[in-house]
Amino acid sequence: MAVLTQVIIMMILILVGILCFKLKIITKQVSKGITSLVLKVVNPIIILVSYQKPFNIDELAGLGWAFVFAAICTAVVLFVPMILVRGGKNKAAVAVERFSATYTNCMFMGVPLIQGVFGMDAVFYLTAYMTFFNILVWTHGVISMRGEGGGGRQMLLSVVKTPALIATVIGIVLFLLNITLPSIPMTILNDLAALNTPLAMFAAGAVIAETDLLNALKNVRIYWICIVRLVILPLICLVIMLAVLRAVPGLSAQIAGVCLLAAACPTAATGTLFAIEYGKDSSYASQLFTMTTIFSIITMPLMMNLWNLVA
């Protein structure tokens, strides 16, 4: 029920973003600026804030398990789409589809979802999934969308310079050294972190407002990608993580649930940006983002209810 409530809140905010775009309050340029603000400033601040807690060996162990579960989910979403998402001669479309099936909106939707469902402390564990996401989207994601290798040094620099990854490293160091920031900086950081949900959903709404939804609804292929991204991949992750929980008594189901929810999120908005950058069908990428976001209203609550029943 908590997931459904949070999803409804986020969808209402997305509708506000759509309305603002239609009324030209949010333009394409403004939407791009909001996206950069969320990814480069607000999300890293949330990550940093999540690590601002007294050092605790149990939480450190929990973070280690979060990386294990995130690695499991990452392996599933990397390799399964290569089998399930196949196409004919249109390799460019398949590249967009595989990217959309692989990479979730764990930064835009995952952070506010985890905050709303599990609380701010759970973002601490979400950083494990986000770390894998940031490393892979700027390496495997770029190669798969561009359609060729090369540029290894440039991609490595892109990974190292990712604000979310930098914030994760700084946050972990502060946590391990048991360093807590003074109250005034923490208040400022918390206020900035609170901007995440509305800004991210407004930006998502602007992308959806530009999408040819009627054309997307007619494309049968999109429904298969939605099933892969929202149902098949999370279910595989669920089964494997449940097996790990059964094999390791006393392991927190919440930590695994955080990674599962991140893996169950709709397609990453990054897909549309990469499609534009590398000359792929950005309109199709936007349609996949829109359709998976719409269907996730149903699939994410169902997936987490199933997790609560079995775990």
- Reply yes or no on whether the pLDDT at 127 is more than 80: yes
* Residue listed under structure tokens 């094999």: 247
Q: What mean pLDDT is reported for the chain? A: 87
For residue 151, pLDDT over 60 is answered with no
Cα separation, 76 vs 70, whole angstroms: 10
Cα–Cα dist 197/63, whole Å: 24
* Euclidean distance between CA atoms 306 and 201, whole angstroms: 26
User: Is it the case that residue 90 has pLDDT exceeding 80?
Assistant: no
Q: How far, in Å, CA of 50 to CA of 67, rounded?
A: 16
Higher pLDDT, 281 or 81: 81
Instruction: Quote the pLDDT of residue 296.
Output: 92
pLDDT at 149 over 60: no
Confirm if 300 and 264 have CB atoms less than 8 A apart: yes
Show the tokens assigned to 66: 């979060």
Q: Indicate whether 60 pLDDT > 70.
A: yes
Alpha carbon of residue 31 to chain centroid: 18
Residue 86's pLDDT is what? 83
Q: Dihedral angle at the C-alpha atoms of 251, 253, 259, 263, nearest 10 degrees?
A: 130
Least confident of 79-93, 149-163, 165-179, 257-271: 149-163
Q: What mean pLDDT do residues 275-280 have?
A: 78
Task: Give the pLDDT band (50/70/90) at residue 1.
Answer: low
| Percent of the chain's residues with pLDDT above 90 | 44
The answer to whether the beta carbons of residues 288 and 217 sit under 8 Å apart is no
pLDDT digits (tens, 9 = 90+) for 204-223: 888 888 888 888 889 999 99
Q: Which residue has the higher pLDDT, 161 or 21?
A: 21
- Whether 96 shows a pLDDT value over 70: the answer reads yes
Radius of gyration of the chain (CA): 19
Q: pLDDT tens-digit profile of 226-264?
A: 999 999 999 999 999 999 999 998 888 999 999 999 999
**CATH classification code of 2-310:** 1.20.1530.20
Q: Is residue 292 within 8 Å of 266, Cβ to Cβ?
A: yes
Q: Which of 33-37, 136-140, 150-154, 301-305 has the lowest mean pLDDT?
A: 150-154
For the entire predicted model, the pTM comes to: 0.85
pLDDT for 34 equals 87
User: Which pLDDT score is estimated for 33?
Assistant: 86
Q: What is the mean pLDDT of residues 17-36?
A: 89
d(CA 78, CA 81): 7
In this prediction, residues 172-201 reach a mean pLDDT of 91
**Residue type (1 letter), 61:** A
pLDDT at 39: 79
Contact 103, 137 (CB under 8 A): yes
Taking 70 as the threshold, does the pLDDT of residue 224 lie above it?
yes
What is the four-CA torsion angle of 36, 38, 173, 158, rounded to 10 degrees?
-30
Nearest of 237, 262, 258 to residue 65 by alpha carbon: 258
Counting residues of the chain whose pLDDT is more than 70, the rounded percentage is: 95
pLDDT of residue 115: 82
Confidence band (pLDDT; 50, 70, 90) for 192?
very high
- Which sign does the torsion angle of CA 180, 186, 192, 195 carry? positive
